[in-house]
Structures are given as structure tokens and as C-alpha cells.
Structure 1
């Protein structure tokens, strides 16, 4: 006959076995869940990696930089050591358009307005520089103080000295690469001439010294390729008013204060410069420009 103590021990043992079985079952379920979560996480990482490589996480906004992300840097210039500088603040460093183009209209007293398409993809900071200064009326009633021997009209200096500009500068961007030296004629057959680095109609910034660009820009009225390293960052091209550029190019030049024969004999006045809204499609909306003065019609 089984004693009561034996029966109690048997019941306790059975209870313990049931508890151990339930605990083992819970542990198996936990391991299965963890294994499933681990596999799912690994799969998510693999899918995310493939999507990232495929560009799925690239921003759809192609017209401006990401919010809070600095695109351009402006270097302060000392107006005390250069009295030709004009303080109009500095452009923003964020919210810079980095795709497409935007129109810049240069109205002079020499004919129809000159329209320039600014390149926002290759020269976003140079374009932002010109747009900012135009918005500050920096160029209004300034002069184009040189017709250079390189075949360009030099404008954008309120002082007319070649030393003027804002109290900041922007670094070079979109400077064309120098052509690879041609082999000797005996070593290779003749090749067609290389395309000019600065084709007719090119608009580029110019700094003094090179790389310290501010407000001054060049409008090339003929093809130009420098003999040495290129120094002018290209910011755009003329899309309208090239006949005005050609007319200005014909103005005779006289010696400037440095003795260089680059000063236009007739004063070339820039009445205004305006910059329109960016366009990512290539269809630009040009800003309204003042009508040419009566002197431009003569």
C-alpha cells in the first residue's frame, strides 16, 4: 500500500515535470521567435543594402541641397585693406540650387539685354554668388571696365579698377581642364583642332588673385584657350543678346592706369542685372528687365 508521503512526492514530481515541460516549451518558442526575428532582420538589411546600392534612398529633390547641408563656403575679405570692396553681407550656405539652370539678364546701355543661362549643376556656388549680388542691386549702374586681349568683356566691379567686389569670395569651381599635350607630328597623324576651353558666349568668373572670385565676370565674344592652366571658373553661357556682346567687342580700347590697352574708349554701363528662378527642366523663366535706354537705340 502506497503511503501518503509517497503519494505527495509523486504528485510533487509530476507537478515539477509539468513545470519543466512548460518551461522547455517556452524556451523553444522563444528561440524560434528570436531565430525568426534574426532572419527577418538579416533579410531587411540585405534588401536595404540592395536598395541603397540601387539609389532607392536618393533624394527626389534635384533642385536644392538637403536642408541644413552646407553646399557653399564664402571666404571673408578685408574691406579695410581693400577700399574697393563693398559690404552687402554674404549669401546663404544652404538652400543652394544644385541642378538645372536659371537665367541672368544683363541690361546695358549698348543694345538688347544679354541673357545668360547659369549652370546650377557644375557651378552652383558661382551661380548663387551672382544671384545674391544681383538681388542686392550690386551691379546696378556699374561699368564693364575692360575688353580683354583674351577676347572677353570684363564686368561686375563697382569700382571699375579690377580690384573691387563684395567682402567675401568664392572658390573656383567648374574650371576646364587643360588639354593633353599633342604628340609630335612625326609620331602621330594630324588631329582636328581641340574644342576651345572657353567657347564664344561663355560666361566665367574672374578673381584677383585667381580663385578668389567675387562679383567680376567675363563674357567671351570669341573662342579662347589659354596657353597655360585655365583660371576662370565657368558659370554659364549666353543664350540671348549675343549681338550686343559683339557690338561691345568692337568698341576701341585705350590704355588703363596700368598701361594695358584694355579700357573701352566708350563707357559701357551695366544698368541692371537680374536673376530668374531655377529650372530643373531647362525651361527658364527670365526675370523682367528694364528697357534699353534711348542711347542704346542710337
Structure 2
């Protein structure tokens, strides 16, 4: 028959085993929690990366894709947004339109020498400015919306007149179900180049209050739209995209013109060949170079 001492020793060992088992269970629980959190974080990051792209791998506008060194210009081109998307908002001239265009220096150096456009007030008349974009795949006629996005047109026209776009590649083609665009304007061809300055969004972003949740909801950028790539508000630079089919994007990419029928035929030809690697987004298989952009 066990003595009291033996019973106490047995009870002590039993309690120790229980405490050890409890500690082991708690350790595993914490480990599983950490692993689950890590997996969840990875999935969240993956979702964000997949959702945020443009328009934009642009270093200054970056456009698609950002405002820090080698940031990609934002191009939410990779994941189809919800099927329901409204039209672009009706244009209502905001107070002070074109009265104070500013082009502050970006964190990245210019990818090709240029002088920043004039600052301050720029004219909104004429409302339309014609331009011709010559590529090695065909001509693309443009009508620049100076009456809606004068600061953007002022920059685009300045770069065009300086030959900034001459002999530069159109580095990105997107062919997803909800997005069809060709992106150009980066002299590096890598999606990270810009003019060394950046500037604010205009139409349609300026039709909303800055905290309006509708800024994050997709709208239809119709076939024939010319718009700026960026990496968020105030990061526009030189990269732009041409819409060859109705595309869904949040209204955070400045629309500054339209494309004529000849230009759309050229874009259709490029899009028909698809992406070089066979995916929905990447360098166009039919390599396309902008030879010149001239104001008519």
C-alpha cells in the first residue's frame, strides 16, 4: 500500500504532466494562429497586388504605377472588377479649371531629357486640340480634351513638342475580359519611366469629393478613350493608355482625349495579335513603337 509520500509524489508527477500537456497544446495553438495569420496576410497581399496594377508602372505617374523610385504605374488591369459598372460622370467644369497647373519634381529623374511645361494658368480654349500619333503599326489620330483636362493636355503637348515620345515603345497590352488597353509613353519600355515631374488628376476624378467611396467603384472607360496612367492621385507623368474596348476602371485615371477610327483600327490590329507571352497582360506580341506625336 503506497505511503502518503508516494501518493504525493504520484500526484505531483500527474500534475506536472498535465501542465506540460497544457503548455504543449497552447504552444501549438499559438503556432497555428501565427501560421494562419501569415497565410491570411499573404492572401491579402496577393489580392491587393492582383487588384492594383495602370495603368500603371510609371515611376512618377506611377502608372500605373507610383511615386517612389521604380514604383510601378498603377494599372488595375489584372483582375476583372465587378460586372456592374456605371458610365463616366457627366463633366461639370470645377472651379478654377486650368487656373493653376503645377508640375512638381518627382522622386525619380527624367527617363529622357525634357523641360517641364509652363505652370500657372493655361487656356481651356480651344476645347479640342488635334494630334497625330505615328507608330510603326499605323497612325492613331487623337482629339485632346483641353476643355476638360487642360493641365494634362498642357503636359502631353509639351512633351510631344519636345520629341519626348519619339521612338519610344508601347510597352504594355492588356486583353482581359473587362479591360482592353495599350499603354505607351515610357522611354525606358519597362513601365517605370517618367518625365521627372508629376501632376494632379483631372476629369473624371475632379467630379468627386476626395473621400467619395465612388472613387473606388468601377466605371466604364469607353472604347476610343485616351487616359493617363498613374500610381495614385497626383502621380501623373508621361505614361498614357489607349482604350480599344470598353474597360472597367475606378474613375482615378484622367481622361484627356479620344481616338479616331483610323487609330482604333490600328489598336485592333495590335490587340488581335495578343500579348507576347500569351497571357492577358504584358508586352504586345506585335511590337509597337511610337515614332512621333505631333499637334495638328
| TM-score bracket for the superposition, by shorter chain length | 0.5 to 0.7
Matches for 1:102-141 after TM superposition, within 5 Å: 102-111=129-138, 113-141=139-167
Whole-Å separation in 1 of the counterparts to 2:234 and 2:107: 16
Q: Which residue of 1 aligns with 2:259?
A: 238
Shift in Å at residue 210 of structure 1? 4.9
Is 1:224 matched up with 2:247? yes
Which among 181, 198, 217 is matched to residue 152 of structure 1? 181
Shift in Å at residue 239 of structure 1? 2.4
Q: Which residue of 1 aligns with 2:41?
A: none
Contact 1:74 1:90 in 2 (8 A): yes
Shift in Å at residue 260 of structure 1? 7.3
Whole-Å separation in 2 of the counterparts to 1:70 and 1:175: 17
Residue 139 to residue 199, structure 1, CA distance change in 2 (3 Å):
same
Whole-Å separation in 2 of the counterparts to 1:129 and 1:115: 18
Contact 1:116 1:240 in 2 (8 A): no
More off after superposition, 203-212 vs 242-251: 203-212
Whole-Å separation in 2 of the counterparts to 1:95 and 1:74: 12
Contact 1:211 1:231 in 2 (8 A): no
Say which one has the larger Rg: 1
Shift in Å at residue 93 of structure 1? 1.3
Q: For each residue in 1:82-135, what CA deviation from the matched residue of structure 2 results, as whole angstroms up to 9, or x when unmatched?
A: xx6334121001462213110121100112x11111111110011011100001
Whole-Å separation in 2 of the counterparts to 1:207 and 1:86: 18
Q: Which residue of 1 aligns with 2:52?
A: none
Whole-Å separation in 2 of the counterparts to 1:119 and 1:180: 26
Shift in Å at residue 266 of structure 1? 2.6
Is 1:269 matched up with 2:289? yes
Question: After the TM superposition, which segments of 4 or more aligned residues of structure 1 sit over 2 Å from their partners?
Answer: 84-87, 175-181, 208-211
Structure 1: runs of 5 or more not aligned: 1-64, 182-194, 276-286, 288-298
Q: Which residue of 2 aligns with 1:252?
A: 274
Which among 197, 209, 216 is matched to residue 220 of structure 2? 197
Contact 2:167 2:292 in 1 (8 A): yes
Structure 2: runs of 5 or more not aligned: 1-95
Which among 98, 102, 112 is matched to residue 86 of structure 1? 112
Q: For each residue in 1:199-254, what CA deviation from the matched residue of structure 2 results, as whole angstroms up to 9, or x when unmatched?
A: 1000000113453111111100001123xx32211001112422112111112213
Aligned length: 189
Contact 2:102 2:120 in 1 (8 A): no
Residue 153 to residue 261, structure 1, CA distance change in 2 (3 Å):
closer
